[in-house]
Amino acid sequence: MIAGARVEPEPGKRNPLDFALWKSWSEGEPWWNSPWSPGRPGWHLECVVMSSKYLGVPFDIHGGGQDLIFPHHENEIAIARVYFGIDYFARYWIHVGLVTIRGQKMSKSLGNIIPIMDVLRKYDGEVLRLYYSMTQYRKPMDFDPDALDQVRNSLMSIYAAYDMLIEAVNEAPPTWATRILNC
């Protein structure tokens, strides 16, 4: 809440805690005409418009990274409560831990981002999904590309066990097989 502690206050703000509902046009950005200036909706407003249009308000679950709690999600709540006259915007807020890579924050500025398409060229999507599900969603997740081989092996063991089970069921006497399949 201290001005300038987190981000430099933007020039032209009456109060550093104010946030933009409408961004004036800058070179290279899409824009629309408005009574205020040519420009585009601010980020917080975009999210409120999209979610309320498709989900209605209030809706059940709003997700996002932990770094979005403030200011983004708090500003979404402020907009939605005032505009729709509701007590709450979403019933549950689910904030996921951030992804690090070998202990370092994964970010464009550090240049250590691994595009998902690069990973998918080497590993099946199922390997990635199993890897992601091994960390609790609120905990930071350290992405270690070297660990993916191990996860692929675990996945292969799961499928091998599955195949053996199916085979056993198929070879078992009918009553036993139906009992297993029906449970």
Residues that bind Zn ion (CB under 5 A): 47
Alpha carbon of 115 to those of 106, 111, 118, 143: distances in Å?
A: 11, 11, 5, 12
Is 137 within 8 Å of 96 (Cβ atoms)? yes
- The encoded tokens of residue 121 equal 């060229």
Smallest separation (angstroms) from Zn ion to the CB of 102: 29
| 48 vs 127, beta carbon nearer Zn ion | 48
| 80 vs 141, beta carbon nearer Zn ion | 80
Smallest separation (angstroms) from Zn ion to the CB of 33: 24
Is 32 within 8 Å of 39 (Cβ atoms)? yes
Which residue, judged by CB position, is nearest to Zn ion in the bound state? 47
Place of tokens 């409560």: 81
| 90 vs 127, beta carbon nearer Zn ion | 90
| 47 vs 141, beta carbon nearer Zn ion | 47
Smallest separation (angstroms) from Zn ion to the CB of 13: 20
Smallest separation (angstroms) from Zn ion to the CB of 43: 7
Give ∠ CA 124-130-135 in degrees, rounded to 5.
Answer: 140
